[in-house]
Amino acid sequence: MKVFFIGAGPGAADLITVRGAEILRRADLVLYAGSLVSEDILQYCQEGTTCINTAGLHLEQQLEWYRQAKQNDWLVARVHSGDPAIYGATAEQMRHLREWGVDFEIVPGVSSFTAAAACFGAELTKPSVAQSIILTRTTGRASGVPEREALAELAAHQTTLCIFLSGPHLASMVADLRQHYPDNTPIWMIQKATWPQEQKHQSTLETVLDEVNPQEWALSTMILVGEVLEEELPDVSRLYSSQYTHRFRRREKNLTEA
């Protein structure tokens, strides 16, 4: 038996990695979080594969499937949305597998924060503006946020923020963010990124609450914040400058140097 924790990506079935799709073709048992993972992902499975939607199962019920797989020496694909390393709730599953002596492997996936940037046609880092990205969330019923990671504390850095799992808490988030970010700072929201039902909204911290109803934005909404989202910024990367050298490219000579 072996278990593969596969990142399915943000939604669109063709955003799963080649490795992830190949494992689905080989799997005897597929466990997928149907509340966040599109069933279109099951197109990669062979006919007759046992596919279980775990959205309605608690941990012990999921572990029972692992026990059955161990008894039958099955190859298991455990499919999570985005990348399993980010808010994937995989640690408790892996702990039990270690205790049972079951081999497992993690197959990374496209995270919703990079998918969101792609859907907006944006870059999250720009020279002299933001060279750091903070991934965070607000406190929810299932998971609390340590006090030292409060949004108001993180906002003090004024760098790019990617906020997961917080759509309905928009009002309190904006209040925290405005303690440190200027009112004209862009805040962009997207839910169901790369799904047919994708919805987007671009605004600023000053105006966003006048423009959207937070209760219409699902918990899985991805929220991007930061000056880096401004489309017109003066600085450009030196990476592709004709005067910038590295081991693959020599600096172009000026006419006076010829």
Q: Tens digits of per-residue pLDDT, 110-157? A: 999 999 999 999 999 999 899 999 999 998 776 789 999 999 999 999
Residue 257: the pLDDT is 61
Residue 143: the pLDDT is 76
Closest CA to 169 of 150, 184, 156, 192: 150
pTM reported for the whole predicted model: 0.89
> Could you give the CA distance from residue 14 to residue 37 in angstroms, rounded to a whole number?
12
> Could you give the CA distance from residue 34 to residue 56 in angstroms, rounded to a whole number?
9
- Amino acid, single-letter form, for residue 75: L
The answer to whether the beta carbons of residues 224 and 160 sit under 8 Å apart is yes
How many other CB atoms sit within 10 Å of the CB of residue 250?
8
Tokens 């906020």 label which residue? Answer: 163
Closest CA to 138 of 109, 82, 177: 177
Which residues have CB under 8 Å from 204's CB, separation 6+? 183, 184, 185, 186, 187
Residue 140: the pLDDT is 77
Residue 231: the pLDDT is 83
Closest CA to 206 of 187, 233, 228: 187
Greatest CA separation found in the chain?
Answer: 76
Q: Which CATH superfamily is domain 2-107 in?
A: Tetrapyrrole methylase, N-terminal domain (3.40.1010.10)
| % the chain with pLDDT above 90 | 85
Mean pLDDT to the nearest integer, 180-195: 98
Residue 232: the pLDDT is 76
- Amino acid, single-letter form, for residue 93: Q
Mean pLDDT of the chain: 93
The answer to whether the beta carbons of residues 169 and 205 sit under 8 Å apart is no
SS3 174: helix
pLDDT in tens, 50-89: 999 999 999 999 999 999 999 999 999 999 999 999 999 9
> Could you give the CA distance from residue 248 to residue 70 in angstroms, rounded to a whole number?
50
| Domain 112-229 sits in CATH 2.60.40.420 | no
Fold match flag (2-107 vs 112-229): no
DSSP summary character for residue 211: H
The ranges assigned to domains in the chain are 2-107, 112-229
> Could you give the CA distance from residue 179 to residue 175 in angstroms, rounded to a whole number?
7
Does position 255 have pLDDT exceeding 90, yes or no?
no
Residue 235: the pLDDT is 62
> Could you give the CA distance from residue 138 to residue 169 in angstroms, rounded to a whole number?
8
Mean pLDDT to the nearest integer, 2-24: 98
SS3 68: helix
